[in-house]
Chain A
Amino acid sequence: MTSPEEAAVTVEAGPPVVAAAEPTVAVRHVTRTFGEVTALSDVSLDVAPGSFVSLIGPSGCGKSTLLRVIADLLEPSSGEVVVAGKTPHRARTDRDYGMVFQKATLFDWRTVRRNVELPLELMGWDRTRRRARADEMLALVELTDFAKHRPAQLSGGMQQRVAIARALAFSPKLLLMDEPFGALDEITRERLNLELLDIWTKTRTTVVFVTHSIPEAVFLSTDVVVMSPRPGRVLRRIPVDLPRPRDTGTRELDRYFELVTEVRETLRGAGLL
């Protein structure tokens, strides 16, 4: 393992010689303030290619802010972010990441299929290719029968699945998800968790996933990153060594309970529970 500092040097010195182990996302000493409020304080985080990293922490601890800094939707006040070996701005204009927000943010005026086509349209794909790709993605999230529906005719969970299909449509290297299932009931959430893992296994995309739910974080992730409240900092990073493929049986394993407890204890130790 290279330390963050060494990796940073490699990237800066770098003509684009990309080491195999280079993280897909490298956050180095990032601080972000909003006026008086310090949302992020000296946050460092590496996300290895192909991993599934969950950010968990109490409301207002800066999870969304961190995600938005990675996505170049916000500038860090200080520190450095490298995404896919580039600046976040470059990664955004190169369309290296897909984003799923807490709300599905679908366009009411487009059908489900044309919502999934949106990024492909922006990238200048021709109609037939776009359509084929959108149908493929809709099959992946099991919404083939709803291709011609409008978002308003779909349930919240279905809308979120459309948003995931849309984010994956152009095969981004990185998927950034901000509490995508936060507004859903427990049953739908567990079903979509399974679906998401399935998609992740098939696409081998790197995922950064924000959640409030400890069971969800443990079930999905390769690593759970526990954050402290304002100013947001990384408290601890817990590798999740549960076997794969994970399924409903995973939630009954002793190790699963141990890990859930470990995350909970970390939050409690910081006085957060």
Chain B
Amino acid sequence: MTAALLTEVRRLRPPSALPAALTALAVLVAWEVVVRVFAIRPILLPAPSAIAATFVADVPRLVRALVVTGRAALLGFVLGSLGGFAVGAAATRWRVLREGLIPVGVVFGAVPIVATAPIFNLWLGALSIWSNVAVVALVVFFPMMINTITGLASASDSHRELMRSYAAPQRQVFAKLLLPASLPFVFGALRVSAALSVIAAVVSDFFGGFRDSAGFFIKTLMANADYTGSWATVVALCLFGLLLYGAVALAERWSVPWKEQ
């Protein structure tokens, strides 16, 4: 009876959600207590309650900031991922391309985005969204390219041999074997890219000229000693990042159902 009830409870709540929520709650409570007991100044660390209050008061401004920064993050995420996948797939088809691209990908993957942001501003105009999009797309491109190449190569020899025994043409081998086998890798890249694209978009905000972008807000609010305001913006960015990650996770569960959990 109790066992049945327990499994029922487990079914309602995904097993990982409850401990994670409890941990987060404990951290918030501890944070609040520490700030109050030791009377820590807001410049160092504002209390969560103060951040929450500012957050609620600032909702319209934060939404505008997220629209500006989130749009660049999302566009860069989609375009960079599509590009990385397309080039990765082409590299699988043409061996020469692959051998040339993998080292290039590794080198470019190590380039700090902070360094590319001013360059893209110069090239595409600081007041154009495309300079921000380009920074994000570049960050996202190489992990996706590398994972696509790895994923498309991941089909086992015995599976390839099976397709060969059916005399399956190249196109069908790709569609029915290589592509499905690559999906877990592709989603691995998407999950990493979801977080990266928000970071990259904010970093490019710092260099860009959009007056209502999230990165610009953090910069000016800090300069104006509005510390809870910048923290509230950071929280808003976190929420946006989680949303994007959640969307990817949902899409993964739907399209890679055989890799449960």
Verify A118–B176 contact, CB threshold 8 A.
yes
Q: Which residues on the B side are within 8 Å of A92 (C-beta)?
A: 164-165, 167
Is the pair A95, B166 in contact by a Cβ cutoff of 8 Å?
A: yes
Q: Does B159 contact A (CB under 8 A)?
A: yes
Q: Tell me what chain B mostly uses at the interface: helix, strand, loop, or mixed.
A: helix
**Interface 0/1 of A99-130, CB less than 8 Å to B:** 10101010111000000001101100000000
Determine if A86 is an interface residue (Cβ-Cβ < 8 Å).
Answer: no
Q: For chain B residues 124-172, which have a beta carbon within 8 Å of chain A?
A: 156, 158-159, 161-162, 164-168, 172
Query: Are A99 and B162 in contact, CB atoms less than 8 angstroms apart?
Result: yes
Determine if A105 and B180 form an interchain contact, defined as CB atoms under 8 angstroms apart: no
Q: Which of A99, A107, A150 has the most C-beta atoms of chain B within 10 angstroms of its own C-beta?
A: A107
- Residue A97 lies at the interface, judged by CB distance under 8 Å to chain B: yes
Is A101's CB under 8 angstroms from B167's CB? no
| From B161, B166, B257, contact of A122 by CB (8 A) | B166
Q: Which of B165, B183, B257, B258 sits near A71, CB closer than 8 Å? A: B165
In the complex, A122→B170 CA distance in Å?
11
From B164, which residue of chain A is reached at the shortest CB distance? Answer: A73
Is A152 at the interface (CB under 8 A from chain B)?
Answer: yes
A73 to B160, CA, bound (A): 11
Binary per-residue interface labels of chain A (64-108) against chain B in the complex, 1 for a CB within 8 Å, 0 otherwise: 000000010100000000000000000011010111010101011
A121 adjacent to B176 (CB under 8 Å): yes
In the complex, which residues of chain B have a beta carbon less than 8 angstroms from the beta carbon of A109? 180-181, 183, 256-258
Q: Mark B179-211, 1 if CB is under 8 A from A, else 0.
A: 011010000000000000000000000000000
Q: B235-261, CB under 8 A of A: which get 1 and which 0?
A: 000000000000000000000111100
With A101-B158, A101-B162, A150-B258 known to touch, is A107 a contact of B167 (CB < 8 Å)? no
Chain A interfacial positions (CB closer than 8 Å to B): 71, 73, 92-93, 95, 97-99, 101, 103, 105, 107-109, 118-119, 121-122, 150, 152
